[in-house]
Structure 1
Amino acid sequence: MQTRIVVYGTNHPVHVVDFELTTCINSGFLLKANLESQFDLADELLVGNMLTFEIESPDAISTYFTGTLFDIQSGFVSEHTCGAEVILKPRLELLKQTEKSQIFVQANVQSVLNKLIQKAGYSQDRIKWRVTKDLPTLPQCVQALENDYTFFTRLLAKYGLIYWFECHDFIESIVIAEGNLASPYIERGLLSVTDKDGLVHEHETGFVGFTQCQSRHRFRMGGSQVHVNAHPPTSVSSAQRSYFEPAAHNPAEQFERTGNLELAYQQGKNEVTLVGNVAEANAGYSFSLNGKLGTAKGGDYTCIRSKQVYKQGSANDPKQVAYHSESVCVPRGEPIRIAPPEHSPKPMVFTATVRSLSGSKTNPHLDTQGQYATQVHFDSQVTESVKRLTQYACRGQKQPTGLHFPLLPDSNVLIGCMNNDPDQSYLLGFALNDTQPSVVTSANNAQNVLCSRGQNLLMFDDTPNTPHIVLQTLAGNQHLVLHGDKKQPYIHWLAQLGAMNIFAAKDIQLGSVKSAIRLLTNKTFIASAKQQLALESKKSVIADAATNLDVTANQIDVSAEQNITLKAGRSHRSVIQSDINLKADNNLTITAPAGSQIIQSQGNITVKGSGSGNLTLANGGSEISIDSSGNVNIFADKLLTLKGKAMAVFDGSMEQDIGSKQSATMPSVPQIAQLAENQRLSLTADGVASLADKTIDLSYFYSDGTPVEDIDYEVVMDNGKIYTGQLSGGTAEIIDVPAGNYTVSYIGEDEEKIISLRQELRTALDQMVAEIRKQADIQERLIDDENLGMQGLIYSGAFLYGLYQQGESIVTGVADLVEGTAGAIYDVGAATFRILGHLATGDVEAMRAELQQIMSTASESINGIVEAFETLVIIAEDEEARTLLANFPVRYFNAHSSVERTRMAGRLSFEILLALATFGSGAVVSAIAKSNYFVKATRALEKLTQATKLKRLNYTRSGTTEKVQLDRISKVETDIDDVKRIESVAPASVALKVNPRTHVKILLDDFLSDAPEHVKNNYRVALRDGKPYITRRNQTVSDQLQYVDGQIVFASNRIDTPNKVLQRLKVDHKSLTPAAKQKLKTLEAQRNQAIAKRDAALKSGNAEHLKAAYKDMRAASEELGEEAARIFVEQNYPGATPLRSKLLTDGKQGQFDQLYQTEDGRLLVIEAKGGSATWGSRMAGKRRAQQGSREYMDSIFKNYEDKLREYLDSPNFGSDKYEVFTNQVEQLEDMIDAYKSSKLTESIDYIGVQQRARDNGLVEVIDITEFDIIR
C-alpha cells in the first residue's frame, strides 16, 4: 500500500499533484501543495480559512495536518481540469505585520502572551499552555517599536518558553511549554530504522519507519552572560560577541535567564537526522526509536524540524507515488530554548501607550517618592476624575520638585531604551495632547513665571484659546504683551514711565492689513526724513492738526488715478516761483462758488485746451467760449465792452448773430469726493516713491504640463503691500505693481484643517469598530442556537458576515449569499496584508506592484482598484493618516467573533480597504458597507484626500518684477499600467443572471430613450470574446457609443469642442435650508428604491424588470439634478424669474434643463445632472460640441429658434381650441426674446449643477461649474 493524501475543506473531489510540508519548532510551518479539480477551487477555498490534509501511511494509520490558507493561485491546466497552488501558514504569521510601542502595566506575562496570540485569530481553546509554574506579574512590560511577533518571541525567550503547532479536530492549535518534555508522543509507538542497505525489504511492504539515519555533533565555544543592571557590558570581549548581554533585576532572575540563554546558544549541538516515511514526526512531537536495528542509537527523541515531500503527478498524467519524510531530532532529555531576537536600533526617545489587561478602571500612578521606572502599579485611591497635573517629590525631599500627569489607561508617554533593550526601558515624561495639556498655564504659576529679585518678570502661558507671553519691569509700568487670543490676538507695548525710542539704521515700517494705524500725541508729532517720507494706505491717509500743518520738502509729488481735492475753509494760496501747469485730458474747471480767484504771474499766463473739447470762461451769466474747431463765442448778459487804449483791430470778415444764445452755460460746482487709494504710486523698501506700472505673471503647473487646481495665492511686495487672488487654469496676472522684489505664496490647504479631518476620520473608524463589537455577541448566540450539522456548515466556510443583523437564523439565505459573492470575491487575501504594510510605511511602488498583480491575475474584474490606488497614493504622503487607514482592517476584524475572524482575515480586508479608498463606490460584497458609520468614514476620507492633495501645492518663493518665473511641482503618479482589465456588466455586489448582451441592450435602450427611431435602430449589441460591445449599421447616421464601467457613453475621441471651466464651487448640504435638505432626502429614497429593484432584477434574471428599474433610476437621478439646480438658484440668485426651457415634445434632447432671468437682467442657463451622469454632447454643425461649451449653447438656442418658427407657423397657434398650446409658444417666445437681449450685452451665465449619488446614497455636496463661454 502506498502513502496517499486527502484534502478536507472543499465540496468537490480534489487530486493532490504534489505536497511539501516544512515544520520547525519555535518558528512555524510552511505547506505548499498543487491541487487539481474539475471545479474552480478559488471559489471554494477562501484565503483566511483553514484547510486540512490527511496523510494515510502504508499501514493505514492517518495523520492530520491543519493550517490557515494564506495564498492560492488557480487556473485551468486543461480543458476540464482546474489547478490551484495553495500555501498554508500558521495564523501567528499575522503578528509580523504590525509595529507599535506599548507599556502593559501590572500585567501577567501569560496574559500578555494570550493577548498577542488572540490578536492573530486564535480563540482561547486553541491556545494550549503546558507549564508547571505560574508566570510572573510585572509592574510594567514594554513593547518598544517592535512588531507583535518579535515581542512574542522575546517574552518566550526571556522566560524559557518554546512553542509549536498541533492539529486537534481539524483546528490549528498553538502549544506553549516550558520545554520539550511537554512534547506529545506520536501514537504509532516504537519506530525502527531498516538494515544498513537502507532498503525496505519485500516482507516489509507495510513498513512505516526510517530508512536512513545520520548523527551530527558540533562543538560550540563561549557562552552567554546576564548581568544585574549592567549598562553597558562589563568587558570588551563580551561586547564584541555576536549576542547581546541582557540585564536582570535581581540575582535569581540573572541565574534563570543565563541558563536559558546558554541552552538557546548551544541549540543543535547534538542532532540526529532520520529519513523515512513517518508522517507524524513533525516539529514538536516526540517518539521512541528502537536501537537494536540499523545504525541508530535507541532512545526518546523530540523533532525540532521536519520536511515531508509527496508527488504523484497530474490526474491526466499519473506517475508512481513518491513520498519521503525527513526529521531532525534531539534527545528528548536535552532542553530546547529560543534564542532572543536581536534588538533593532531605536530613537533615544519615542512615544508609547499605557495599557492594562486587567480591565480595572483604577488609575496607575507614581509612588509617593516620585519613582517612575520602579513603581507604576494601579492605585485604587486615585480617582477617575484626576486628569490634571499633580505635584511630586523625589526621594529624600520634603518639598515638591516637579509635576506629573497621573498615568491613565491609554495615556501617551515618552520612553527610551538603554542599549536598545526593551527590558531596560525608562520613562522620561508624557506626550502632550488634549488630555495631557501643556504644563505652562495660568493654573500653574510656579512653572510658567521667571521672576528676578528686581521685579523683572518673564511669563509664559499656554492656556487654551488665550496663550500669551509677558515681559515686564518696574511693577508692570513698562511691559510688552504678545497675546495669541484666538478671537482678538494683539501686541501691547507700554512705557508709562519715561520715553520710548525706536531707532533703525535703515528702515522702520508700520503696517496694518485690515484696520487703521493711529499715531496720537498730546503735544507735538514730528515726522522727519532726509530723503522721502511716504504715507500709504489702501483706504485713506488723514493728516489733521488743530493749528498748522506744515509739509516742506525739496519736491512734493501728489498723484491720484481719479480726483485730487484741495479744500480750504477760507482761502487757498499757491505761490510758485517759476511755472504753474494745469492739464486735464477732459475738462479743466476753476470755480469759486462764493468768491473769486486771483491768478498772478510775473511772466505769462497760458490757458490751453487739448482741441477735443471747449475752453470756457464764465461768470455772472456771461461767458467766453472757444470750441474745438477754433470758433470764439463771447456772450455778455448785460454789457459787452471791447476797449483798447491804442485801438481794437478786427482782422477779417465778421458776422453778427444777435439772436443766437440767450444765457451763459455755467460750469457745475465740483463736489469734493472721498480721496481714493493711489494705486499707481508706491514706496520701495528704501523709501523711494515709484510708479506702480509692473505686472507679475504667476504660472503654477504640474510636471506633466497640466495646471494645478484653482488655489489661492498671496503676493507680498518688498514694501509690504499684499495682493491676493485665485489661480485660474494654473495662471494669474497681477497688474500695476511697483517694481522690485516680491514673495509669492501658493495656498493649497492649511495644517489645521488636515488635523481636523484626520480626527473626523479617526472618530468614524472608531465608531465602526465599537459598533461591530456589540454585534459580535449577537452572532455568537446565534451560532450556539444552531444544531451540530449547521455548526459544521458554519465552520467549514459557509458562514459570511451580515445575516444575523436581521435577527434570523444564520443559515437562512446562505446559498443565495454565496452565489451572490462567488463572482465578486477575488484571490487577494495574502496580498492584502502586504498592501497594508506598504501603506503603513508609505511605499507607493510596492503597493502599485501588488495591485497590478491582483488586476492581472484575477479571473474577473475588481471594480475600483484604479480609483482606490489614487486615494492610497495621496494618503501615503500623510504619515498619520496612512497609519490610521492601514491599521483599521486589523482593528475591525479583531472586533468580530472568533468564527468571523477565521473567515474574514485576508480577502475581506481588501474589500474594506477598497470600499474606503473609493469613498464607497468600491464596496463589493462587504458587510462594512452596512455599517451605520460607513458613509461618515468615506466622506471624511474623501475630504482628507482632497485636502492632502491640495496641501502638496503649498509653496513659497521669492521673485522680482523684472523676471518671469514658472513654478512647477511634481505630479503624483497614480496610474496602474500593463494590467488585464475585464469589463464588468453588473454591480459587483449582485450575482448576474441576466445575459450580458441583454443587459447592455437594456442600458442602450435607456440611454437612447429620447432619440429618434432611426437613431435607435442604427445601433446593435454584439459579443466579442464573451464581452458586449456596441456597433452601428450606418456610421454617418449617429455617433459612436461605448460600454464602459457599466454605463453607455459617447466615444471620448468624438469631442471636437470641449467645454472650458471658468470656476468650480462646492455647496455643502450643511449650508442648505431644512426644506431643501428634506427634498433631496426624499429624492434619494426614491433612487435607492430603484437601485434595489435593479439589484433584484439582476439577481432574478428578469430582463423586463431590469429595464423598468433602469428607467426609474434615470428618472430619479434626473430629478435629483433638477432639484439641486433649483436649490442653487434660490440661494444664490434670489428673485430670479424662471423662463420656459421645455420644448413642446416628450423628450429632453435639444433643450436646456432650466433657464432664469435675474433681477439685474442676466440670463442663467442651467445644466442639471444627478446620480453618476456626466456632461453630454451634440453635433454643432459638423463638429461635436461638449455640454458647457459656447458652441453647444449656441446650437441649443438655434434649435429653440427653429422649433419656435414651426410652432408659430402651426395652424393651432392662436386658435381658441388650443389655448394651452398658444400660451406655451408665447412663453417660449418670451424666453427667446430674453436670450437675444442678453446675447447683445454678453450677459449670459452658463452653469452646470451636479448632485452626485452612489449606490449607497448621496454625496452631500452640490458641485457647481461655471463654464467659460467668452469667445
Structure 2
Amino acid sequence: MASFSSSLGKDRLVVSRFEGAEGLSELFEFRLEVVGTDEDIDFDQILGTKCCLKIQSQHDGVERSFNGVLVEAEWIGKDQDLRFYRLVLRPWLWLLTRTTNCKIFSHSTVPKILSQVFGSHGFAFEQRLSESYPELEYCVQYRESDFAFTSRLMEEYGIYFYFEHSESDHKLIMADSSSAHEPKLGGAALEFSAVGQSNIFGKDRLNEWAEGRHLRSGKVTLEDYDYKKPTTDLLAEKAASAKYQHGDLELYDYPGRYTEKGNGNSLANVRLEGEQAIDKRSTASGDAVTCCPGFTITLDGSPRANKGTKYLTLRANHLFRSQAYRSQDVSGDDGYSGSYEFQPLDIPFRAPATTLKPIIHGPQTAVVVSDVDDQCRIEVRFFWDRDKSQSRYVRIAQSWAGNGWGDVKIPRKGMEVVVEYLEGDPDQPLVTGSVYNAQNVAPYVKEKLNAVSGTKTQTLRGTGFNELIMDDTSGDELIRFHAQRDLEGKVENDERRDIGNDVKVRIGNNRDENIVSTWTVTANEKIEFTVGMSTFTMTPTEITLKSTMITLEADALMKIQSSALSQVTADALLTIQGALVLIN
C-alpha cells in the first residue's frame, strides 16, 4: 500500500511505479510514475518543493517515508481522464550541486564549516559526531559546488552522511562512528526465509543473503612538512591486521595536509578504515521496505549471518509496482521488493575519497592588505573573494633564504602580487612576485623602460625614497644611487676604485675623516685646495700658498732651508723680530 503527497495535496497523484536508490554518503534518487485526474499540472507550482511517498510494510504495517525535493517532472501521456507523469525526487543536498562558490574559511573546524555552509541554505541537518577535529588555519572553497566542497572535507576527515525521512521533511545526519546509528523503523530484527517459504514471524524479511571478502590495502603512510617546524618528523603510519596474503600492501601519500603528527595519525587512520571497510560486505534481497541506509538490523534464520550480529545498512535499492494504474502494459507483480548492502556494525564505515580537490594550475594575482610579520609573511586579498576576507599569512619567495642571511624584499600594502600554489593546492598560497597596474605604475618613464633597470623604494608614511638605477641607454650609460637620508658602509679589508675620468663630490655640510695610519695623495699635474680667497697649489715644480694673511707658528723650531736660494720680500714693511737675531 502506497500514498503520495505533494504541494498539490495528498493523494492528488497516485503512484503506479517507484524505483529508488539510496546509500551512505550518497545522494538518493527516487523515480516515480504517477497518475492524476487533474488537467495538465503546472510544473512551476511543484518543481523545487518537497514530496513524499509512503509505503506500508506488507508484514507489520510499519510505514516508510521517502521524502525528497522534486527536481524533474515529465508529462508522458493520457488515457481518457487520466494523466501520466514521471517525477524524480532528490535530497536537498543535491541542490548544492547546482551552486559554485569561492570562499575562505579561517580558524575553523570541519564540523563548523559544514554547519556554516549547510546552515546558509536553511535545510534540516544534524551532527552526531563523537571524534575531535583540529582547527584549520585556512580552508578554501575554490570554484566548486557547495556539495563538492563539503563532500571532500567529510571524506578526508572521516565524516559520512545519511538521511532520516518523515512525511514532511528529510534530515541530513552526519556521523563518524557506530554510536550515531539506530535500529531501523519497526525494530532491528529481520527474518531470513528462502524464496517460496512462508513468512512465519510476520516481519520484514530477506530471502537472499551473500557475504563477500575483498582484498584491500593494509597500510597507510602519510608524510608532510611544516615550515614553522622544519626539522619535525611528521611521518604518520597506520596498519591493519589482515590475515590473508598481500594484506600489507601500502598506500603512501605526500603531502598529507597536516602540521601536527597526531592529526596525521588520525587522517591516516581514516584512510585505512576506508580501505578496510570495503573488505567485509554482505548483499541481500527481500521485501524489507523499512531497511534504509544509516540504520541497523539484525538477521534471524540466516545460514551465514550470525544471529544477533548487528549490521549497518549501507545501500538500498527499492522497487514498488501497482498494476491499478499504468501508463503502459508492463508485466510484473504488485508490491514492494528491494536489494540491500550491509557491513558489520563493529567495522567503522568511511566514505571513499572520490571527490577531487580543485587544482589551481597557474598563478593568480592578489592585493597586499597587511604589513609583514616576524616570519616574513604578508596577508593578501584575492580578487575572487566576494567577502573581501583576508587570506592566511603567506610566505614570500626570495632569491636567497638562509639562517640570518639572504635576500629580503617585502611587498607592501596596496601592491598587486603574483600568487602561486604548492602542488596547485588552494590552501597553500605562496607569493612569488609583484606586478604593476594602472594604479601602481612603474617608476621610470615609458620611453626609458627598455633601457632602465633598478630598484626604487618609498619612505614609509612619507614621500621620500631610496634608489639604485641602471640606465643602459647607448652613449649615456649610468648607475645612480640615491639615499633618502643616511648612507653607511663598512669594508672589512681593502677598498679599491678605478675611475676612468673625473670625480666630483659635493658635501652640503661637514666632512670628517679619521685615518689611523697614512694618507697618501698623488697627482701627476696639480693638487689645489681653495677656501674662499685662500689657495694652496702644488705642481711637480712649485708649491704656492696664497691668502690675505698667512701665519706659520711652531711651538719649538721652525726651519726654512733651501739648497740654492732663499728670498723673503715685502712691498711695504719687513719685520724680523726675536730675543736674539743672528744673520749669517
Same fold flag (TM > 0.5): yes
Q: CA offsets per residue over residues 529-585 of structure 1, 9 Å max, x none?
A: xxxxxxxxxxxxxxxxxxxxxxxxxxxxxxxxxxxxxxxxxxxxxxxxxxxxxxxxx
Partner of 1:328: 341
Instruction: Kindly provide the amino acid, as one letter, of the partner of residue 220 in structure 1.
Output: R
Match of 1:349 among 362, 378, 383: 362
1:1185 matched residue in structure 2: none
Tell me the distance in 2 between the aligned counterparts of 1:245 and 1:474: 50
Q: 1:38 and 1:178, CA in 2 relative to 1: closer, same or farther beyond 3 A?
A: same
Residue aligned with 2:191, SS? coil
Residue equivalent to 1:340: 353
- Structure 1, residues 721-741: CA drift from partner, whole Å, max 9, x if none? xxxxxxxxxxxxxxxxxxxxx
Q: Which residue of 2 aligns with 1:165?
A: 163
Q: 1:10 aligns with which of 8, 21, 24?
A: 8
For residues 397 and 91 of structure 2, what CA distance do their matches in structure 1 show?
48
Q: In structure 1, what is the equivalent of residue 239 of structure 2?
A: none
- TM-score, with normalisation over the residues of structure 1? 0.30
Tell me by how many angstroms 1:95 deviates.
3.5
Q: Assess if the C-alpha contact under 8 Å between 1:42 and 1:72 holds in 2.
A: no
1:446 matched to 2:457: yes
User: How far is 1:458 from its partner?
Assistant: 7.5
1:287 aligns with 2:281: no
1: distance between equivalents of 2:365 and 2:18?
Answer: 44
> How far off is 1:351 after superposition?
3.6
- Match in the other structure for 1:79: 80
* 1:198 partner letter: V
Q: State how far apart, in whole Å, the 2-side matches of 1:342 and 1:320 are.
A: 39
The residue that corresponds to 1:52 in the other structure is 52
Aligned twin of 1:108: 109
Query: Which letter does structure 2 place at the counterpart of 1:438?
Result: N
Distance (Å, rounded) in 2 between the aligned partners of 1:305 and 1:208: 17
TM-aligned CA deviation for residue 29 of structure 1: 0.8
Q: Does the 8 A contact of 1:192 with 1:293 survive in 2?
A: no
Q: Report the Cα distance in structure 1 between the residues aligned to 2:321 and 2:74, rounded to whole angstroms.
A: 19
Change (3 A) 1:251 1:399: closer
* Residue deviations 1:471-492 (CA, integer Å, cap 9, x gap): 976799xxxxxxxxxxxxxxxx
Distance 1:51 1:433 in 2: 56
Kept in 2: contact 1:4–1:57 (CA 8 A)? no
Letter of the structure 1 residue corresponding to residue 51 of structure 2: L
Q: Are the structure 2 counterparts of residues 473 and 230 from structure 1 closer, same or farther at C-alpha, using a change threshold of 3 Å?
A: closer
1:352-391 matched pairs, under 5 angstroms: 366-371=372-377
CA distance in 2 between partners of 1:366 and 1:42 (Å): 63
- Indicate the residue corresponding to 1:697 in structure 2: none
**Would you say the 8 A contact 1:191–1:210 is kept in 2?**
no
Question: How far apart are residue 331 of structure 1 and its match?
Answer: 0.9
**Distance in 2, Cα, partners of 1:405 & 1:93:** 43
CA distance in structure 2 between the aligned counterparts of 1:78 and 1:161, rounded to whole angstroms: 48
Matched residue, 1:296:
305
Say which SS state the counterpart of residue 410 (structure 2) adopts: strand
Alignment partner, residue 172 of structure 2? 174
Give CA-to-partner distance per residue, 1:1071-1116, whole Å, 9 cap, x none: xxxxxxxxxxxxxxxxxxxxxxxxxxxxxxxxxxxxxxxxxxxxxx
- Structure 1 residue 94, shift from structure 2 partner: 3.5
Aligned partner of 1:198 in structure 2 is: 195
Could you give the per-residue CA deviations for residues 194-246 of structure 1, whole angstroms, max 9, x where no partner exists? 34x33342766x44222222111222244322113399x99xxxxx9888544
- Show the counterpart of 1:39: 38
Q: Call closer, same or farther: CA 1:273–1:395 in 2, change over 3 Å.
A: same
Partner of 2:500: none
Q: Specify which of 387, 403, 412 is matched with residue 410 of structure 2.
A: 403
> What aligned pairs does 1:847-858 form with structure 2 within 5 A after superposition?
none
Cα distance, 1:79 vs structure 2: 2.5
Return the letter of the residue paired with 1:19.
F
Report Cα offsets for 1:626-657 as digits up to 9, x if no partner.
xxxxxxxxxxxxxxxxxxxxxxxxxxxxxxxx
Q: Structure 2 counterpart of 1:251, which letter?
A: K
Q: Is residue 105–residue 140 contact of structure 1 (8 Å, CA) maintained in 2?
A: yes
Q: Which residue of 1 is the match for residue 384 of structure 2?
A: none
**Given residue 184 of structure 1, which amino acid in structure 2 is its aligned partner?**
E
| One-letter identity of the residue aligned with 1:276 | G
Change (3 A) 1:174 1:458: farther
Kindly indicate whether residue 220 of structure 2 is the aligned counterpart of residue 224 of structure 1: yes
**In structure 2, what residue type is equivalent to 1:177?**
A
1:282 alignment partner AA: C
Q: What letter corresponds to residue 136 of structure 2 in structure 1?
A: L
CA 1:133–1:260 in 2, change beyond 3 Å: closer, same or farther? closer
Q: What CA distance in whole angstroms lies between the structure 1 residues aligned with 2:322 and 2:276?
A: 40
Contact 2:206 2:287 in 1 (8 A): yes
Matched, 1:273 2:272: no
- Higher normalized strand content (fraction of residues): 2
- Tell me which residue corresponds to 1:129: 127
Matched-pair identity in %: 17
- How far 1:341 moved relative to its partner? 3.3
Amino acid at match of 1:297: N
Q: Which of 239, 242, 263 is the aligned partner of 1:253?
A: 263
Q: How far, CA to CA, are the matches of 2:412 and 2:74 in structure 1? A: 54
Q: 1:414 — aligned with what?
A: 419
Deviations 1:1164-1217 (A, max 9, x none): xxxxxxxxxxxxxxxxxxxxxxxxxxxxxxxxxxxxxxxxxxxxxxxxxxxxxx
Unaligned runs of 5+ in 1: 235-239, 355-362, 377-383, 385-390, 460-470, 477-1271
C-alpha separation between the residues in 2 aligned to 1:114 and 1:181? 20
Gaps of 5+ in 2: 228-233, 236-248, 382-388, 390-395, 445-454, 459-464, 481-584
Shift in alpha-carbon separation, 1:194–1:8, aligned structure 2, 3 A = same
Ranked by relative contact order (alpha carbons within 8 Å, sequence separation 6 or more), the top structure is 2
Task: Decide whether aligned partners of structure 1 residues 272 and 293 sit closer, same or farther in structure 2, where only a CA change above 3 A counts.
Answer: closer
In 2, distance between residues paired with 1:34 and 1:332?
A: 35
1:74-117 Cα distance to aligned partner (Å, 9 max, x none): 14321211111111112323433455554433333223222333
Contact 2:190–2:297 at 8 Å: present in 1 too?
Answer: no
**How far did 1:304 drift?**
0.9
Matches of 2:54 and 2:345, distance apart in 1:
27
Alignment RMSD: 4.4
Q: Name the amino acid aligned to 2:48.
A: G
Q: What is the one-letter code of the residue matched to 2:305?
A: A
Aligned to 2:207: 211
Helix, strand or coil for the counterpart of 1:283?
Answer: coil
Does the CA-based 8 Å contact 2:365-2:419 persist in structure 1? Answer: yes
Q: How does 1:872-887 map to 2 (within 5 A)?
A: none
Q: TM-score, normalised by structure 2?
A: 0.62
* Residues 937-952 of structure 1 aligned to structure 2 (within 5 Å): none
Instruction: Indicate how the Cα distance of structure 1 residues 430 and 128 shifts in structure 2: closer, same or farther if over 3 A, else same.
Output: farther
* Number of residue pairs aligned between Structure 1 and Structure 2: 422
Residue 246 and residue 451 in structure 1: after superposition, are their counterparts in 2 closer, same or farther (change >3 A)? closer
